[in-house]
Structures are given as structure tokens and as C-alpha cells.
A and B are shown apart, each in its own frame.
Chain A
Amino acid sequence: MSTAAVHQPTAHPENRTAPQEAHVTSTATPAASSTVASAETPAAGSVPPSGPTPRAGSGRAAGRRRLAGAVAKVGPLLAAVAGIVAVWYVVTYLVLSPERRFLLPPLHQVLGTTLGNPLVMGPMLDALWQTVGVALCGLAIAVVLGIGYAVVMVQSGWAERILYPYAVILQTIPILALTPLIGIWMGYGFSARIVVCVIIALFPMIANTLFGLQSASPAAHDLFTLNRATRAQRLFKLQFPAALPSIFTGLRNAAGLSVIGAIVGDFFFQQGSPGIGGLLRTYTLRLNMDSLFMAIILTALFGVAMFSVFAALDRAVIGRWYGRSGA
């Protein structure tokens, strides 16, 4: 795994208004925010203004529409998976000569030798479970630290000027340059894996939370000033609620990164029960291709699952927040 591959998906320091944050970038101007919101979730516009009046008879149509919506959502994903499988088989049978076919064994062989064999699947699922634990643990710590750091930064201009550079430095040092040191300092076990995970997932939490906390309009701040709001009132009644959409954007990105962090941690810190990243390394050394591919498939599924869960959480919470789910 190269450094570039680890670092590519993280938010770049200058990129604080990157596409993944698009739906929060304009909350600073009240005029723009309404249009931005509907751009973020096209469904918002089509919801009838007064929610609680579903007419009889529209129930079946709504059900059909929901089914169509689910198909529209899942369809492209299934098509993408089918495309990958197709390319896989093409490479296995048409590109590779029989004696080199072991480089990419056919999918049914990968599934056949692993899924049915508890001696292979058992340790693999245990390892995956271990990695899930590290990722969630690291993510939780990164969320708390990231939000806390941003809240401190937003308290004053100089706090931000002093503290932001540390976040940027943390972000720009390639994690692979730090891992040996983390190993020496922390040992090669569970806690070192979590530290890698936290370091990798922290920056999007900090950057998105900070951006969100600063997104309330100057006029809204004036409103609070005119009513003599305390610092706490301003934070909890204005800045924090205004930041919620970007906090969830940060959470979504951090969730994806925590998976990478956990696997990188597994890969380097092999003390204690192995994670899926540890098994990846073992399978690679033994050229156990079937198991290697199964492990890769499992990590991919894990990554997709994490991202989807947090994306769904994002939509649900933000939808409620802005009163989309009916009055």
C-alpha cells in the first residue's frame, strides 16, 4: 500500500469547501442556503409543504414510488458490482494464460474455497470483527477530539490562528512516516492500531466542524448579540446547530478513513489477535490468493457498509433537523 493511496481521500487543508462539503458551503448566506439545501437532496423540493395530510389512495402510488426510488438507488451499485465481476472474469480467462491464472483466480473459486471452509472463514471473520472494533473505536475518539478541537478554535480568532496549523501538520505528515514511531512508542498492539486510526480520521472532523461552526451568518450573530446571548447560548443555540450538516459530512468522511486507518494499523502492528489487515499481509506472504481476494472483498464490503451507514445517518438526521420529515 503506497502513501498516496492512504492519503488521497482525505480532505485537503485548502479544500475546506471540497465537493463532499458542497451542501454546507453556502450556509453563511441565508439567501443561498435554501437553494443549496434543495440541491443537496432533490427530494426536499418534492415533499408537499404540509406533511401530515396523505390522501387515501395515494398510499399505493407512494409505495410504488418508494420501490422505484430504492431500485434507482441500488441499481447503479449493482451494475457497478456486475461490471467489476465481468472484468474480473475477462482478465482471469481471456487475459491471463493458464499458468499465470493464479494471479487472479476466478470469483467462484475464491468464494468456493473460502466461504464453505470454516477454518478459513472463521479466523477471517474474527479478524474483520477485530478491525471493525478498531475502526469504530478510532472513529469515536476522532469525533470527540475533532469536535472539541474545533470548538476551542472557534472561541477566538487567535485560538484558530494558533491551533489550526497543528491540524494541518497532522494532516500533511504521511501516516506511513509516523507508523514506525507509533510502534516504538505505543507497542505493536491494539492501542497503536487505534492511534493510527485516530490520526487518519481526525482532520476531516476538525476541518468540517470548524467550517460548520463558522457558517452561521453575521446577521444571525448580530441577532444573538442584540439579545445579549452568552457564549454558551451562542455555541449551543447557533453555532452548533448550524454546524450539524458539516459535522455529519465530516463524520461520513472520517468513517471511511477510519476503515483505512484500522487496516493500515492491522498491517503494521501485528501483536495480539490479528485484524483483517494482518491477515492480508499473511496471505500475501504465503501467496494464498483465494484467501487474499476474499479478505480484500471483506474489507471493501466493510468500507462500503461504514460509508453507507453514515451517509444514511447524515440524511436522516439532517432531514429531521430542517423539518423535512413532516411538520
Chain B
Amino acid sequence: MTRTLVLDDVTKAFPTGTVALEEVSLSVSAGEFVSVVGPSGCGKSTLLRLASGLDEVSGGDVEVNATSTSYVFQEPTLLEWRSALRNVELVGELRGVPKLERRRRAREALDLVGLSGFEKQHPRQLSGGMRMRVSIARALVAEPDLALFDEPFGALDEITRLRMQTELQSLFALKSFAGLFITHSVSEAVYLSTRVVVMSGRPGRVVADIPVPWGYPRTPELRYEPEFGALVGEVSAALGEHS
């Protein structure tokens, strides 16, 4: 199995003096979906920015073995003047994919997230959950080897959030990219992931790396199983000890 993302002893200190991450080592392979949970401000977003190359490490190494990396932001970050379809197309446009090809792929991606029929709607005409779906479609349209998610469901209501989790894990089952997913929610991390990484408070360090045994696709009912509850408890305990 190729290791798509490798963080080796990564440290990040900002010019302001804040040490956000300290000696973090973490790897994500193809077919792995790794969630990172940790207290607010422990450097989770910083971790993603380093992994994506948006920001540079102060120490250690980042190795990415991917031809295409995608990033889903906490906010949908759609261009309001573009329709849903044209928002998804943007990625192909920037990368120079021919128009017909990128349009076809954008339609497929929207279809995949259950938005066929909404291609021409503008972001303002969509609900919060639908906007996030467009954002995910935009991330998946480039067939990423590595997909990074920064708390994408944080702003959604509980019902929408659970539905989006179900959809995301089935998309993962379908596409099997290497996924790195930031979240505040322990049950979300357990439900989605093959592994849950727990970080300590700032400066962020990896304090636990807990494997999740179930395969994909996962049913929504998995959340009510006692084993699921036990694993949520284990992650919460690791989180509690170090925050």
C-alpha cells in the first residue's frame, strides 16, 4: 500500500511565536480515511494547510504522493456568481481541462452527491447542506488521490450532518482516495474513519491513533451498536486525558 501522505516529525511555529504543532508524525495511505480530533486551537487546520502545501513546515518533512489533492473547507466557499455546475467546473477550468470534458465530469460529480437537477441553481438558492454537497462535488471532480477535509460539516444542523456523513462514507467506499478529515465530533470521526487520530491541546501532538474495525459502506444504524458506543468512549477518553 502506497503512503499517500506522510508527515514526519512536523513542527509548525508561526512568526507570532505560537507553536501550533510539535513533532507530529502521521501517514495516510490510499484506501484509508483518517480523522483527526483535538481541542480547538490545537493546530488541526494548520495540519491540513501543511499537508496541502498552502503553508510550510518549520521543522520535519511533508511527503505527498498524489497527482491530485483536493481540499474541502469549513465553509462551502462557493463562488456566488456561478451556478452549482459552474462552481464544480471551476477546478477543471483552472487546470485547463477542455470545456466539454470538464462539464461532463462536473455533472457526474453533482449527480454523485445527489444534486442532479440543481446544476443551474446559484449558491444562494441552495440550502446549507446542498452548498456543502456542491463543495464536496468540486473536491471529488478532480478524482483526487488525497482528499483533505477541514470540519466540513461543522456548520450544519444535526440531521443534515448525519446524512452528509452517511453520504461521504459511501463516496469514500466508491472512490477510495486517501482521506484526512478534521472534526470536533468524536462520533463523526468514528463513523467515517478507518483510523482516528487524537491530538493534544496546543502545541498539538498526536496522543492516540485508534483503528476502527468496520468496513464500508456503513449503515446509519451502526451508530446505535454497543461496539460503536464503546469506541466513541475510548476516543473521548483519550481526548479528555490530554486536553
Contact = CB atoms under 8 A, between A and B. Distances in A.
Answer yes or no: do A and B interact.
Answer: yes
B94 A322 contact: no
Interface residues of B, number: 28
B81 A244 contact: yes
Contact of A322 (B95, B120, B124): B124
B90 interface: yes
B94 A229 contact: yes
B121 interface: yes
A223 B123 CA distance: 17
Contacts of B75: 30-31, 217, 219
A226 B71 contact: yes
Interface string B59-81: 00000000001110111111111
B122 A222 contact: no
B77 A321 contact: no
A222 B71 contact: yes
Nearest to A52: B120
Q: SS class of chain A's interface: helix, strand, loop or mixed? A: helix
A327 B77 contact: no
Contacts of B77: 30, 217, 219-220, 223
Q: SS class of chain B's interface: helix, strand, loop or mixed? A: loop
A228 interface: yes
B94 A228 contact: yes
Contacts of B120: 323, 327
Nearest to B123: A34
A49 interface: yes
Interface stretch (A68-76, A94-102, A139-147, A233-241): A233-241
B122 A323 contact: yes
B4 interface: no
A316 B149 CA distance: 37
A30 B94 contact: no
B83 A227 contact: no
Nearest to A48: B125
B94 A227 contact: yes
Contact of B52 (A34, A226, A229): A226
Contacts of B95: 227-228
A234 to B, nearest CB: 9
Given A227-B95, A237-B94, A321 B79 contact: no
Interface residues of A, number: 31
B54 interface: yes
B91 A227 contact: yes
B52, B76, B77, B80 — most chain A CB neighbours (10 Å): B80
Contacts of A323: 81, 83, 120-122, 124-125
B165 to A, nearest CB: 21
B71 A223 contact: yes
A225 interface: yes
B80 A226 contact: no
Contacts of A327: 83, 120-121, 125
A283 interface: no
Contacts of B54: 222, 225-226
A233 B95 CA distance: 10
Nearest to B94: A227
A225 B73 CA distance: 13
Contacts of A242: 79, 81
Given A219-B75, A226-B53, 17 more contacts: A34-B80, A37-B124, A38-B124, A44-B124, A49-B121, A219-B74, A222-B54, A223-B71, A223-B90, A226-B54, A228-B94, A244-B81, A322-B124, A323-B83, A323-B124, A327-B120, A327-B121
